[in-house]
Amino acid sequence: MALANYFLFLAFFCQISILSLGAKESSGSDDVYQIGIGGPDSELKNPNFLNNVDSLLSNLISESSLGFFNTSTGDDDSDRAYGFYLCRGDISANKCNNCLKDVRQYLLNRRPFESYSNIIAYNTDLQCVVHYANDSRPFVYRENNTFTGAGFGDDLAQNQQYNTTLMSTLQELAREASYGNWTKANFATKVVDVTGSQEKIYVLVQCTPDISAMNCSNCISNLYSTFRPVAIGGRVLGFNCLMKFNNEPFFSNGYRNFMASYFLMILVLLSTTYITLM
């Protein structure tokens, strides 16, 4: 029985560890930002539109397990709110849900939809992006769609090799996107060594899954051509795609939770079998 107790203890310890990881994961997202597009619009004081935006945000959250969801809310075309959310392909459904809740709360607190007809909101780490508008035209793919970008960390001017490696990696990912052969639809990560140094570059790119592979490739190409990196880290957001890069790890490999659950299952089965045999 001592061995059975040992197995049960290990299973219990692993369960506690998994719950602990989940608790960390469920914490709030980073700071949220929003930008209104198209300028103030006095017509958006319509209370029906404001209510529809609120309903739209709730509907997006309710579908957070999908990673991407687009819909519209409202019975009257003049009041209808259109929108979608996109969560990064390396985060869990739980983290996606919490990120979307943070974005919704941010928007409800500041209510930019009372003044702007077209809003994109996102958190600092680009873990989730929400886009809504008062008509469907902003959601049709178009080229030259870089929305915002920011750099952080050391100046790239002092590290030409880093810059060269980064550019070639982004070009490579854009080419891969045109083939549509990413392991996860519209999402890819890459870790590359900087020649002649101990540095690595971590790169993540993603497109909304409602555009073609070729348009995804064009979208990513446009991001790095219109927002030339000036620092070793950066995030760039377009209407249909995003990218982030840094010299430190920031994305998940997608295996941690699966392996922990799989290991726990084996321990439980072993302990149960042992007790049965006893």
Segment 126-149 mean pLDDT: 85
Classified as helix, coil or strand, 1 is coil
pLDDT for 275 equals 42
CA distances in angstroms from 107 to 43, 58, 121, 132, 235, listed in the order given: 19, 12, 8, 11, 21
98-107, 153-162, 230-239, 253-262: the lowest-pLDDT one: 253-262
Q: What is the pLDDT of residues 57-76, one digit of tens each?
A: 999 999 999 999 999 999 88
Q: What is the pLDDT of residues 10-24, one digit of tens each?
A: 333 333 232 223 323
The residue with greater pLDDT, 268 or 190, is: 190
Is the fold of 27-139 the same as that of 146-246? yes
User: Domain spanning 146-246: which CATH class is it, in words?
Assistant: alpha beta
Contact between 236 and 204 under an 8 Å Cβ cutoff? The reply is no
User: Binning pLDDT at 50, 70 and 90, where does residue 241 land?
Assistant: very high
- Give the domain ranges of the chain: 27-139, 146-246
CA distances in angstroms from 157 to 160, 191, 193, 225, 232, listed in the order given: 6, 21, 18, 17, 10
Contact between 139 and 94 under an 8 Å Cβ cutoff? The reply is no
Euclidean distance between CA atoms 50 and 116, whole angstroms: 11
pLDDT for 129 equals 95
Q: What is the pLDDT of residues 27-49, one digit of tens each?
A: 344 688 877 776 555 455 577 88
pLDDT for 261 equals 36
Which CATH number is 27-139 given?
Answer: 3.30.430.20
175-184, 198-207, 235-244, 263-272: the lowest-pLDDT one: 263-272
Nearest CA to 149 out of 268, 231, 62, 28 is that of: 231
| pTM of the full structure | 0.77
- Report angle CA 243, 177, 128 to the nearest 5 degrees: 35
| Residue-by-residue DSSP string for 36-89 | EEEEE-GGGG-HHHHHHHHHHHHHHHHTGGGSEEEEEE-SSTTT-EEEEEEE-T
Extended strands (E) in 165-254: 187-193, 200-207, 231-238, 241-246
